[in-house]
Amino acid sequence: MENDFLWWRDGIIYQIYPRSFADSNNDGIGDLQGIIGKLDYLQSLGIDAIWLSPIFPSPDVDFGYDVANYKDIDPKFGTMADFKQLVVGAKQRKIHIILDLVLNHTADQHPWFLQSKKSKDNPYHDWYLWEDPKLNGDPPNNWQSIFGGPAWEYDPDLDQYYYHMFYKEQPDLNWRNPNVRKEMLSIFSFWLENGVDGFRLDVFNAYFKDAQLRDNPSKFGIRAFERQEHFYDNSQPEMISLLNEIRHILDQYPGSYTVGETFLANTEQTAQYIGEDKLHAAFNFDFAENRWHPKRFLSSAKKWYRALQEDDWPNNFLSNHDMTRAATRYSFGEDDRRAKVAAAMLLTIKGTPFIYYGEEIGMRDITIRKKSDIKDPIGKTFWPLYKGRDSCRSPMQWTDEENAGFSKSDPWLPVNQNYSTRNVQNLAKDPNSILSFTKKIISIRKNEPALQRGDFIPLATDPKHLLAYSRKYQEDEIILLLNFSSRELAYDLPKGVWISLFEDRKTFEKQVNIRPYQVYILKRED
């Protein structure tokens, strides 16, 4: 069994937002030495890989998602030597490292862009998407930035527009330029040679836009961006052959992995990018966007599995650095019962689970009260309708000490006020906490190939309150019963004797009663 364990299929991936995880030098910003100091914690949690949100030099308009150098470490996070130490420390603990590559755009401070805007005949000019204005001075077409306003920014010196899907400080690269393509591909080998095991590709399906720059057709929507069908500004056919090329590089490093963040794509479109000559995995947002209803999660999961080819492997997540945390979406106040059910589902449903830092302690979003407190520029643009993404990026809560043990000086974002009780140190002592519960399920999962790579079979039940499924692998069969409701439920078990994999090791036959928000993991006794 040990031998066929494949980390990215059978294991668990933990997303770290480095600015907010642990601050070793007390400047208020998390860093690599901070992460190194928490590797024992991550090992004890039982995760198999960490995905680091970008750690490359960045002017931080989009906090790392605007990269100024793809082959170095941002000094606020540490040095290349720190990074190597992290790789070694992680490897010793069988933790794999996934880097976040943001290759759709660079920072406007990247030397390539600075060159590019110098003159139209600069060799780097064509590295970005520069276009002449229309005769009346308008932008070349109707494309919009998802972060607000037109996607075209006028440069009076050049009398041209450049294109940016995100902030204007994030100009999109021209992937049709062979020099760009070559340079970008070299980034993969560079980091693979430096001991990295995989990559998360930021908005990879946006790399190519329509070569003829056709206008997007309009549709009903509220914001300008939503009033268009995004036919021409993403998901162009050229992407597939590029994915083939990327995969070819990765295949020279056995065991390496890529997970893509599909942009503006539904489940079926997302699935098309996965395959043996494409990505290993891509994020299915549909699953994460469900409201608290077992039927919804079940139908998203089924849709996801149906969309994938036989040899593809799904992955699932409920939170990330761009969305409200799962516990905030599902729970009432500080009550963790729903967050526990969500964790149990994420860790036992078919597909590699991605845990967002702090999810294991049920971290909640922070409340943003004043516009002037906002760090994420979109929060200012859309205030007060949308407050941006600061809320889900608050510092990790380690202890009940000052700043939750994250830093000895003021953190870049405030710590959630619940930290005096909701922190790792405190919850680790409580056998009933969400942290102890999550750890327990992870350790059960570690011993059960059926929970890792088993088939998924939905079980008939009352779909309003109970999510029930079985996972089967070779001779093993495990039933999961997740009570999404505050009611006590009864469930008729399939024939046989079923043993609970929680500590109690109780056995059940025929019927089981499930308390409100209770979770059962039952294995067929042989």
Q: Is 202 a catalytic residue?
A: yes
Closest-by-Cβ residue to ligand NOJ is 65
Quick one: which of 12, 52, 97, 203 contacts ligand NOJ (CB under 6 A)? 203
236: closest CA among 271, 202, 275, 263? 263
Residue 69 binding target from Ca ion, ligand NOJ, none, CB below 5 to 8 Å by type = none
H helix intervals, 95-177: 111-116
The two structure tokens encoding residue 519: 């979770």
102 binds ligand NOJ (CB under 6 A): yes
Residue 85 binding target from Ca ion, ligand NOJ, none, CB below 5 to 8 Å by type = none
Residue closer to Ca ion by CB (options 39, 499) is: 39
Residue 23 binding target from Ca ion, ligand NOJ, none, CB below 5 to 8 Å by type = Ca ion
166: closest CA among 321, 394, 377, 18? 377
Place of tokens 């290349």: 80
202 binds Ca ion (CB under 5 A): no
| HEC readout, 425-444 | HHHHHCCCCHHHHHHHHHHH
Strands, E assignment, 102-210? 130-131, 152-155, 160-163, 198-201
Residue 172 binding target from ligand NOJ, Ca ion, none, CB below 5 to 8 Å by type = none
286 binds ligand NOJ (CB under 6 A): no
Quick one: which of 162, 166, 207, 406 contacts ligand NOJ (CB under 6 A)? 166
Active-site choice (261, 286, 359, 477): 261
Contacts of 36 (CB under 8 A, 6+ apart): 24, 82, 85, 86, 89
Closest-by-Cβ residue to Ca ion is 31
Shortest approach of Ca ion to residue 30 CB, angstroms? 6
In whole angstroms, give the CA distance from residue 7 to residue 22: 25
Active-site choice (10, 169, 172, 202): 202
Residue 282 binding target from ligand NOJ, Ca ion, none, CB below 5 to 8 Å by type = none
DSSP β-ladder status, 352-356 and 476-483: unpaired
Shortest approach of ligand NOJ to residue 51 CB, angstroms? 11
Shortest approach of Ca ion to residue 408 CB, angstroms? 10
Q: Is the peptide bond before 156 cis (omega within 30 degrees of 0)?
A: no
CB atoms within 10 A of CB 180: 19
DSSP annotation of 407: -
Quick one: which of 5, 25, 264, 516 contacts Ca ion (CB under 5 A)? 25
Residue 62 binding target from ligand NOJ, Ca ion, none, CB below 5 to 8 Å by type = ligand NOJ
Q: Are 131 and 163 in contact (CB under 8 A)?
A: yes
Radius of gyration of the chain from Cα atoms?
A: 24
Residue closer to ligand NOJ by CB (options 323, 493) is: 323
Residue 203 binding target from ligand NOJ, Ca ion, none, CB below 5 to 8 Å by type = ligand NOJ
Chain centroid to Cα 459, Å, comes to 29
Place of tokens 């209770």: 518
65 binds ligand NOJ (CB under 6 A): yes
CA geometry: angle 12, 41, 192, nearest 5 deg:
55
In whole angstroms, give the CA distance from residue 487 to residue 489: 6
66 binds Ca ion (CB under 5 A): no
CB atoms within 10 A of CB 123: 11
Give the interface size with ligand NOJ as a residue count (CB under 6 A): 9
In whole angstroms, give the CA distance from residue 201 to residue 258: 7
Span from 29-37, 41-49, 391-399, 432-440 in contact with Ca ion (CB under 5 A): 29-37
Quick one: which of 10, 23, 62, 172 contacts ligand NOJ (CB under 6 A)? 62
Q: Is 157 a catalytic residue?
A: no
Q: Phi, psi (5° rounding) for residue 399?
A: -140, 180
Build a one-symbol-per-residue string for 31-60: x at contacts with Ca ion by CB under 5 A, - elsewhere: x-----------------------------
Quick one: which of 10, 23, 66, 359 contacts Ca ion (CB under 5 A)? 23
Residues making contact with ligand NOJ (CB under 6 A):
62, 65, 102, 166, 202-203, 261, 321-322
Q: Any idea which residues carry the catalytic annotation? A: 202, 261
Residues making contact with Ca ion (CB under 5 A):
23, 25, 27, 29, 31
